[in-house]
Each structure stands twice: as C-alpha cells, then as structure tokens.
Structure 1
Amino acid sequence: MQHVAVVGGGIVGLAVAHELAAERGVSVTVLEKETGWAAHQTGHNSGVVHAGLYYKPGSHKAWMAVAGSRSMVRFARDNGVPVEVCGKLVVATEPEELPRLQVLAERAEANGVPAKRIDAAEAREYEPEVNCLAALRVETTGIVDYGAVCRALVRRLGDLGAELRAGTEVLGIRGRDGRVELATPDGVVRADALVNCAGLQSDRVARLAGLNPAARIVPFRGEYYELRPERRHLVRGLIYPVPDPSLPFLGVHLTRMIDGSVHAGPNAVLALRREGYRWRDVSARDLVEVARFPGSWRLARKYARTGVDEVLRSFSKQRFANSLARLVPAVRRDDLVRAEAGVRAQAMLPDGSLVDDFLFEMAPRQVHVLNAPSPAATASLEIARHVADRVVDQL
C-alpha cells in the first residue's frame, strides 16, 4: 500500500488525509507541530459556510466554494456536527455601493449561487435592525463549528487506521531512493509522497523540501468582538457590507455563530508573529522576514491609508462600533466584548499583490498547498479531492 505524509493538522490537512485514506486506499500519516488539531486558522474560524458569492468566475475559489458549501453541510449532517443553512444579507448602505451590489448579483449568477436583490423593506423582514438602501439575499450561506468538523475527521481517520501524530514538527525534508523522508524530533518518517497543508508555515515547509516558492506567507490578524448576550437579538443571521473591490478584505460584518453568539469583525492588521493573536505576540524572525520581503513594502504603500485606519480601529472600540453601526445602527460601543482573534495566512508576491486564489505547487512526489485563505474551510473537502487527484497522479 502506498503511504502519504500530510504536514498540517488543520481542516485542509485532515480533509486531504481523509480523502486519501477513505477514497483512494492510501496509508496516511498526519504530522502536526501543535499538540492538538485545528490549532490555528481552523480553530479561530468564524464558522461561516460560504456560498461562493464573491469569487472570480472560473477560479478555484469559485467552484470549490460552491461545491464545498454543499459537501460541508452534508458531511456535518452525516457526522452529527451542528450546522445551519441560515442565509445572509449583503447590504448597500450608501448610493455609491448600489452598482457594486449589482455586480455582486451578476457574479453570484455566474457562479451558480442562488441570490436575489431585495429592497430595504424586504431586507428588514430578515433583519429588522439592519440599515440599507438595498441588499442581496444569499440563501445557501450557512454556519457550522469547524473545530467539530475536524474532530469528526480525526475520528474517521482513526477508524481508517491513519497514523495521527500531533506534537510532531517537521524539521527537514528530502527525497531519497524514490521516496520522501521527513525528519522529526521523534525520528524519520518515510513516505511515497508528501502533501504540505501547513497553513501559516506552508512556504517554510516548501523551502524545507527544496522549493523556492515565489509567494511568501504574510500573516494578517483578524480581530473580533462579540455582542453581549442581551444584545444578540439585534442580529438574526449574517450581515455583510458590499465589499470594496479596491481593498483586499471584505470589511467588518456581523455573524451569528452556531452556538448563538454574534461575532463582529474582523478588523485586519499585520500580525507581528505568524501565529500572533495579540499585539504583544512578537517574533523577531517573522518580522525580519516580512521586512526583507519587497512585497510587504509595496503592499504597505498601496494601502497606507487603509492600514492606518485598521490600526486605529484595533485600538478603539468606538471606531469598531461605528463601523458596525453602518450595518446595524442600534449597535453601541458598550454592546461589544473582545473575542478571540484569528490569523490569516495570506500568500503575497514580490510585487506586493496578494494571491487571490488557492495556490498549489508541485514537485516530484510532493504537493504543496501554498495559499488557502477563506473560503478554504468551506471548500476543504473539495480541496482534498483536488489535491488527492494530484497525489495519485504522482504515485
């Protein structure tokens, strides 16, 4: 039986391992440097099952998100993971946003996402407290606990006989005698192929394997608040702004979680460590890497004003509340309680452009997932099928 080593125990790595073991008859070892699963991006995820609304038609993101929204809901229901297809509103609050809302509606149609444009009165039937001139209602957006999805994947992998090695960091990678060898603190793991799903460390793992990927991971911290329990009634489901196409992120929004809490955010700032969830989490090595990478400075120049606004909002709850009040005017500063932040592994090119789509790089007997930002959790089972096809071709 062929043996594949998967580096990374987040939802993408676990989904790839499960696809290989359950559907391709491959023996699998999963190596995760943390002592638990889904410790980083997956474990700090907002829990949204994205419909595939925003993404360029024909891109990996578009077709994988649309297919993934179905397969993720199906997997959750089949495995006893709470999931709800609640739909969401994308709202235009200013006249200049109305043409962008129409463009979004056209993109939804191109991607096969059920969505309809509605007026302000219709929007308030879904969300009585919302402020808007018009909105897009997207019925297939859902919410789920991705940590629970990972626990289900781990259970199934255990039943399939996979070797699950948490607390095992990969220190070196080399090809030898037609196989791949991975050095760990506990010895060498030998496999017929390697899949790198290391997220925030994916470019470093690729370099360990001898690749020189053009894209570099630059970490952005997404900062969240949540509404106090007595104010959760202000939001029934999910309320998003119309995204500004000139900016790289969607903007702050309001999301009802599967446990009934309502999260608000994210604010987006450069993280001072690849796994830095607070301002005081600083890594000299990570900062030097960012400072030496020319793309960082080019991105900073391009979005200087936006970056300053994000930093100011990071330190000002009032600014954060004001951003949310554009969507739901009843939200006040005192309604907000600081919640856990997340860190997004964003692949960046030397010219300062952000890699917009999922990015895969191949080498002999190796598949490297070098960019898997949102909607990677939604699309994880589809990413897994795509990667497994490439692995089987390698074998």
Structure 2
Amino acid sequence: MNGRERVVVVGGGLVGLATGLALQEQGRDVVVVEKEDGWAGHQSGHNSGVIHSGLYYRPGSLKARFATEAARTLPRLCAQWGVAARRTGKMVVATQPEELPRLRALLERGRANGIPVREIAAAEAREREPHVRCVGALVVDSAGVCDFVGLAQALAGRLAAGGAELRPGERVDRLQVGGRRVRVTTSRDVIVADHVVNCSGLHSDRLLGPEDRHAVRIIPFRGEYWTLRCPELVRGLIYPVPDPQLPFLGVHLTRGWDGRVHVGPNAVLALAQEGYRWRDVRADDVARTVGYPGLWRLARRHLRYGAQEVWRSVVPGAFLRTVRTLVPDVLAADLERSPAGVRAQAVLRDGTPSDDFVIRGGPHVTHVVNAPSPAATACLQIGRHVAEKVVSGS
C-alpha cells in the first residue's frame, strides 16, 4: 500500500468503470470487481445503443442534467478514444391526433432541459424518414448512437493504464463495515478498502443495508429486441410519443452505430434477475420479486399495460402491429429476433418506479441503486458525481 485511499468498485458495467476512472483521476487506488469474465455484460451491453438527449426527464433531475451534458460531449470523447459513435438526431412521432398534446408537452420539457428540440409537420418528418407514418413529430438533433461495449473496453483500458486493479470473474458476496474500513468478501478473496462503491446494477439492492433493502427493490424487466432485415426502411432513430406515467419509452426503431436497425424493446417482468429469455427462471429470484409489496402495487396500477406487453412478447404478430404504427412498410418477414436486455428498475415499497438515478452515500459505502437508461449515455457524468460523493462522505 502507498498510503492512498483504496476504493473498491463493485460492478464492471459502464457506470462502475466510469466511477472507477473518476476516482482514479482523484488520486485513489481503485479496485474494480466484476462477477462476469468481461466488461459491460448486462445493461451496458444489452441496450439500443442510443446516446439519449435528455428529452424525457424531469427538469432538474440527475437524468435530465447528465444526459443533456453527455449528448453534447460523448461523441467527441468517443472520437478521441477510438470508440464508434456519431450524432444522428432522432424523431419522436405522433401517429394519432390525440397524441399531439403529449408531443407538445414533451417539446416544452425538452426546452426546459435546454435541449435542441423543434416540432415539425408530417411532411417534413417524411422527408427525413420516408417510410414513417405520423401526424407530427419532434426532431432532437443532439441524439446519436454509440458502441457502448467499445466504450466500456476503453474505460477499462484507461483504468488499467492508470494502475487500477481489475478483477473480472469474481463475485462480491458481502460488505462489512468495521471502524474506518470495509471488508469486501468475494468468491475468491477478502479485500479491505477505505470505501466501496456499489455499481452492481441488477444486483445492487442485495448489497444495501437492511433498512434500505426494505424500502427499495430492483425489479428486472426484460426488453426484447428484433433486427430489421431491410435496414433501408429506417435512416436514423424513430420513437413513439411515450406515456409519461411509465418508465419505458415504448417500441422504437434505431439504426445503430454498426448500421443495423434494432426494433424494440417491449417490457415484461423477467423471471430471473438475469432473465434474458422466458425459459430463464430462478426460483429464488422469483420469490424475492413476487414477495415484494411494491411489485403488486405497481402491477395493479399498470395491469392493462403489462398484459399488452406480455401479449406482444409471446405473439409476434402483435409486436409487428405495434411496429407498423410507426413504419407501415415493415412486414413479418422483415423482423429477426435479437438478444434481449434486462432493465434494472428500482421500485419503491409503495409501487412507485424511481424516475431518477438513485445514489445513496455514506462515510464508507456508496450505493448506485437505480441506474437504468440513460445511464449508459450518462456514465461519465454519473461517475464524476459518485466520486464527489465519496470525497464528501455524503
């Protein structure tokens, strides 16, 4: 040991790696422990690859502030690091006249967040996306796409070059605070640290203290994707008008950094914390999820929506009809199933899904409890924010 403070970061997704880099830049000795054999194995590597603009989020929230900044800065930083990324802009389209008031409310929210957003008529929307069907749209020029797995690898490379200890393939089982140190028990070792940052995503609530575990639970929602076999139907990013009462944006079509067009996701309750398929079932995860009162309160509020999502999951024709509300030229033969993702959504005991990043700090342990989308976009901003909390002990 060289006398510098030692910080263990639990989780090797984008948020964990970015937090480790921010702590390293502050002069701390950093250890990153990741249970998978590589980086970005879950949320960071199983998403639509979109650089979010900050359009949807509550003004003043961490999501709004961090995503807005990241949309401005991330493409340039990726270019410096050799990571594929580009600014493409995106459209949010209203397909029915009754959606126009929500579209305009979204326009005002975007302006409140300082985002370059404007409303366009249907004719201009079709000039941008010839195959789209809509009655009006918003254009957000700051949105884009990124190779987030490549970004994770770049972050890990910078950490290693700076002397960080990277420990993939090692699971963290327990944290014990004693005096001024934290004992981190892993599947291989016991690490003694001055501070621990919990960025373990789908498993982050398991490392919380008893009181916090009682108040919040990570509920896993699987988002299923398809790939469009005729990518010429989509030039950029096409999104529906979201329901502001839901934490999901709805099925959208996105041309990724590699030129492939991804379609999705839907949102269904996963039957395992890492339940990427219907057949992925873990009895202990199911018991933990269904035994949480917040899940049932959430389900009662959104029963109809949840049933529709399950129907779209098991009936491909129902999913296709949803896609064709945006791009009618898509046919059943044009869709090919792709790997799914699982969103780690924090739900409070009263059934309210957290609508912002949740970061709970203390003298020796900081927990990043809720970091779903747009956390990949905003990972560097989250990392700096967490590092500041470690410094202040808050």
Normalising to structure 2: TM-score of the pair?
0.97
Residue 156 of structure 1 is matched in structure 2 by 158
Tell me which of 9, 17, 20 is aligned to 2:12: 9
- Distance (Å, rounded) in 2 between the aligned partners of 1:32 and 1:117: 44
Tell me which of 87, 92, 95 is aligned to 1:93: 95
Corresponding position: 1:144 with 2:146: yes
Corresponding position: 1:58 with 2:60: yes
Matched AA of 1:241: P
Quick one: structure 1 residues 213 and 364, their matched pair in 2 at CA, closer, same or farther if it must change by over 3 Å? farther
Matched AA of 2:113: N
- Distance (Å, rounded) in 1 between the aligned partners of 2:332 and 2:184: 50
Tell me which of 95, 114, 117 is aligned to 2:116: 114
Corresponding position: 1:242 with 2:246: no
C-alpha distance after superposition, 1:78-113 (max 9, x if no partner): 101111100000001101100111111111100000
What is the CA distance between 1:346 and its match in structure 2?
0.3
Contact 2:361–2:390 (8 Å) recurs in 1: no
What is the CA distance between 1:357 and its match in structure 2?
0.5
- Distance (Å, rounded) in 2 between the aligned partners of 1:227 and 1:190: 49
C-alpha distance after superposition, 1:246-280 (max 9, x if no partner): 33311100000111100000011000000010000
Greater CA drift, 332-341 or 179-188: 179-188
What is the CA distance between 1:368 and its match in structure 2?
0.4
Contact 2:225–2:338 (8 Å) recurs in 1: yes
- Distance (Å, rounded) in 2 between the aligned partners of 1:41 and 1:198: 10
- Distance (Å, rounded) in 2 between the aligned partners of 1:61 and 1:236: 27
1:186-225 map, 5 Å: 186-207=188-209, 212=213, 214-225=215-226
Residue 21 of structure 2 is matched in structure 1 by 18
Contact 1:206–1:213 (8 Å) recurs in 2: no
C-alpha distance after superposition, 1:324-343 (max 9, x if no partner): 11111101111100001000
What is the CA distance between 1:236 and its match in structure 2?
0.2
- Distance (Å, rounded) in 1 between the aligned partners of 2:239 and 2:155: 30
Tell me which of 127, 135, 140 is aligned to 2:129: 127
- Distance (Å, rounded) in 2 between the aligned partners of 1:394 and 1:207: 17
Matched AA of 1:393: S
- Distance (Å, rounded) in 2 between the aligned partners of 1:185 and 1:112: 46
Greater CA drift, 263-272 or 362-371: 362-371
Corresponding position: 1:259 with 2:265: no
C-alpha distance after superposition, 1:346-378 (max 9, x if no partner): 000111110111001123211100001110011
- Distance (Å, rounded) in 2 between the aligned partners of 1:164 and 1:247: 37
Greater CA drift, 252-261 or 242-251: 242-251
What is the CA distance between 1:177 and its match in structure 2?
3.2
Aligned residue pairs total 391
Contact 2:125–2:136 (8 Å) recurs in 1: yes
- Distance (Å, rounded) in 2 between the aligned partners of 1:182 and 1:336: 45
Corresponding position: 1:71 with 2:77: no
Residue 166 of structure 1 is matched in structure 2 by 168
Residue 376 of structure 2 is matched in structure 1 by 377
Matched AA of 1:31: V
Q: Secondary structure at the match of 1:220?
A: strand
Q: Secondary structure at the match of 1:264?
A: strand
Contact 1:119–1:134 (8 Å) recurs in 2: yes
Contact 1:117–1:135 (8 Å) recurs in 2: yes
What is the CA distance between 1:211 and its match in structure 2?
5.1
What is the CA distance between 1:316 and its match in structure 2?
1.4
Contact 1:71–1:381 (8 Å) recurs in 2: no
After TM superposition, the runs of 4+ consecutive aligned structure 1 residues lying more than 6 A away are none
- Distance (Å, rounded) in 1 between the aligned partners of 2:86 and 2:361: 36
- Distance (Å, rounded) in 2 between the aligned partners of 1:389 and 1:216: 25
- Distance (Å, rounded) in 1 between the aligned partners of 2:393 and 2:161: 26
Matched AA of 1:374: S
- Distance (Å, rounded) in 1 between the aligned partners of 2:138 and 2:161: 43
Matched AA of 1:118: I
Residue 45 of structure 1 is matched in structure 2 by 47
Q: Secondary structure at the match of 2:115?
A: coil
Matched AA of 2:153: R
Greater CA drift, 330-339 or 355-364: 355-364
Quick one: structure 1 residues 246 and 186, their matched pair in 2 at CA, closer, same or farther if it must change by over 3 Å? closer
What is the CA distance between 1:70 and its match in structure 2?
2.4
Normalising to structure 1: TM-score of the pair?
0.97
- Distance (Å, rounded) in 2 between the aligned partners of 1:118 and 1:171: 52
Contact 1:221–1:271 (8 Å) recurs in 2: yes
Identity of aligned residues (%): 55
Q: Secondary structure at the match of 2:208?
A: helix
Q: Secondary structure at the match of 1:135?
A: strand
What is the CA distance between 1:213 and its match in structure 2?
5.4
- Distance (Å, rounded) in 2 between the aligned partners of 1:157 and 1:118: 44
What is the CA distance between 1:207 and its match in structure 2?
3.8
Structure 1 residue runs without a partner (length 5+): none
- Distance (Å, rounded) in 2 between the aligned partners of 1:133 and 1:212: 46
C-alpha distance after superposition, 1:275-325 (max 9, x if no partner): 010000001011101111011111111111111111111011111111011
What is the CA distance between 1:74 and its match in structure 2?
2.6
- Distance (Å, rounded) in 2 between the aligned partners of 1:74 and 1:31: 29
- Distance (Å, rounded) in 2 between the aligned partners of 1:71 and 1:14: 18
- Distance (Å, rounded) in 1 between the aligned partners of 2:127 and 2:70: 28
- Distance (Å, rounded) in 1 between the aligned partners of 2:201 and 2:334: 33
- Distance (Å, rounded) in 2 between the aligned partners of 1:100 and 1:280: 37
- Distance (Å, rounded) in 2 between the aligned partners of 1:213 and 1:37: 30
Matched AA of 1:273: A
Residue 330 of structure 1 is matched in structure 2 by 329
Contact 1:269–1:307 (8 Å) recurs in 2: yes
Q: Secondary structure at the match of 2:262?
A: strand
